[in-house]
Amino acid sequence: MKQVLQNLKTGETILEEVPSPKVSKKNIIIKSNYSVVSVGTEKMLIDFGKAGYFSKAKQQPEKVKQVIDKIKTDGFFSTYEAIKSKLDQPIPLGYSNAGVVVSSGSENFKEGDRVISNGNHAEFVKVPQNLCAKIPESVDDESAAFTVIGAIALQGVRLLKPTIGETFVVMGLGLIGLISIQLLRANGCNVIGIDRDKNKCKIAQDLGYETFLISDDLNPLQKVKKFTKGNLSDGVLITASSRSNKIIKQSANMCRKRGRIVLVGVVGLEIDRNDFYEKEISFQVSSSYGPGRYDPFYEKEGNDYPLPFVRWTEQRNFEAFLGLLEKKVINLKPLISHVFEIDKAVEAYTQINSKNALGILLKYSDNEIKKNNQTLVKLNNTNFQSEDSLEVGFLGAGNYSSRVLIPVFKKCGVTLNTVSTEFGLSGVHHGKKNGFLYASTSNDDVLGNDKINIIVIATRHNQHSEQVIESLNKNKNVFVEKPLALTIKEIEEIEKSYLLSLEKRYSRLMVGFNRRFAPHILKMKKLLDKRSSVKTIIMTINPGYIPKNHWTQDRKEGGGRIIGEVCHFIDLLRYLVGSKIKRFYAVSIGKESNEDVLEDKVTITLSFEDGSIGTIHYFSNGHSSYPKETIDVFCEHSILNLNNYIDMRGYGWPGFRKMKLFKQDKGQSKCVEAFIDSIKNGTESPIPIEEIIESSKFSIEIAKSIQAEN
């Protein structure tokens, strides 16, 4: 299928051929009929992409600070590669779509339903059930396609709390502004529209509204005073896009005492306190489509908020706007400035800066559904064929997979066969970039391919165990990015499948515990193996804060940070000590706020059968300028100190003083190389399966103990 993308690095708009998405629970697949190009929002993205590095940095000063801190801890080259990778990834454009359901994983929608959604500009879109709504029979697709943009306007108007007879100013007469003035009139309000563009003012005037054309030297205050007979406005809805602070000041000046201002657009927010203080003006920012926006519980998991407590969710706003279209309270036809076939999408974006551009519609063909709805796409490149007949299939192409794992496997000289991702976009991008033969949105295209004998699992953590088991059952070699699984039961099921696979064919099972293979760790292990004494090892991890609602913090999806991340360090202690773990003790500090996560700030002590002790301090309440990882080893009156995999020093260690690298190396490349070499040479997996199982089980037990205590 065709999809419209934007290159963040260059700002270039691309029409790409990508595999169609595959339906899943509480999601639906929609064949698009129309989608609306949001001239305001999408123009901002394109302008940002076209800006140079200095301009990008100037627009996001908070990101610059993060970059500086990362350079301090991880070094310049590691930081540069991370930034380059981030900007290299294309993003999908569009968020207001109308079409027909062709496949449903939701009880609320069935095949054939006409629906709107916040789907992208693509022939087929996959959308969660709470981000869709059914189109009334009398509403045409062209008008319905504006619904999501209309819901943004509707939510802003709701926050204004208009009452019959009040007067409101709408600052900015773009799409959202022109819809907002109609919504305010539907509430029985008097409306004044203000914009710099005479064409937009004329559209509003043709719809029957009072408008003012303003410029830098013209303050609209006197116009508003005249219109309101000196009373000023009851409120201002800001739908403009500008960096200027003048708009917020003008809005305050145009408000009466105890007036209200709601911001829907993006403007400068250096507020003069006196403007608001003297009149007791209230100010609020509207969050997109309404309650539920950006909440994974509502959007991703498909749970609704009870209507008596949350009357207007984003989905109910969609339905309300469609209801207004059905009653012909809102007229969107005058707002349609251009219509382009999807094949001409790139041309459509050349009009985005045109003075006449307003509502740009992309129209999708009525081609046969089965012809376009394909989950596998052949990529136009020549792929290196492995002499050892090692063909790799990737499940997942997220940040770590695309930036680290895929390039490393490519360097190992294997054939990169198929990469499977949920929405197809990242698979096509990274597939083309690295020479994959195919990109897919179905894992069956990878697991069911007999040519593929190595499976790399880099999906969300809750999918790992099932995918590992299925891969082993198909006699594949498996490399799974940590963690191996989220529960003890899953670990036991993996063990069974692994043992059964040995009876048919020796399949290797490897977890990406890459720190074992870091140059400093290999040197440390070599030094420690010469000592027979027990060891005391202290690891201090400064991982940084991750929001509570991030998927890795969700116990069902990510498992939490102990299972998902601390497993690395449990395995590393097991490797350095070289003895089985005997028992553990773990404690976390109490919550400082409702946003705290107990597994973020923990101390874990492991005791080993040989008498050694290892302690992991994993604290997310540190500072980003401090090293992320330090390791101190005490043994026979000597000390080894490793600082962030760049510098290691020995104190009182005969024959060793220091080891410093030019750039950070956590062993990712050597980890994959060792795995591939074991397959080529017919040797055992680089990490013994017993140690993988041991480290994984202890990670789960430690996480359970922290949860039980709190």
* Start-to-end Cα distance in the chain: 49
Q: Would you say how long the chain is, in residues?
A: 710
Lay out the sheet containing 509-511: strands in order across. 376-378, 438-440, 415-420, 391-395, 454-457, 477-480, 509-511
Compute the Cα dihedral for 134, 140, 143, 145 and give only its sign.
positive
Q: What is the pLDDT of residues 601-647, one digit of tens each?
A: 999 999 999 999 999 999 998 998 899 999 999 999 999 999 999 99
How distant, in Å, are the alpha carbons of 323, 448, 512 from that of 418?
Answer: 45, 11, 20
Average pLDDT over residues 484-491: 97
Mean pLDDT of the chain: 90
- Hey, how many other C-beta atoms are within 10 angstroms of the C-beta on 169? 31
Name all domains of the chain by residue range, CATH numbers in brackets.
2-146+295-369 (3.90.180.10), 149-285 (3.40.50.720), 376-509 (3.40.50.720), 515-709 (3.30.360.10)
Q: Which is nearest to 134 in space by CA: 110, 103, 102, 158?
A: 110
550: pLDDT confidence band, cut at 50, 70 and 90? confident
Per-residue H/E/C for 460-485: CHHHHHHHHHHHHHCCCEEEECCCCC
Give the residue from 695, 579, 578, 576 showing the smallest Cα distance to 640. 576
Q: What is the pLDDT of residues 100-111, one digit of tens each?
A: 999 999 999 999
CB 115 within 8 A of CB 30: yes
- Specify the pLDDT at position 371: 47
pLDDT tens-digit readout, 439-477: 999 999 999 999 999 999 999 999 999 999 999 999 999
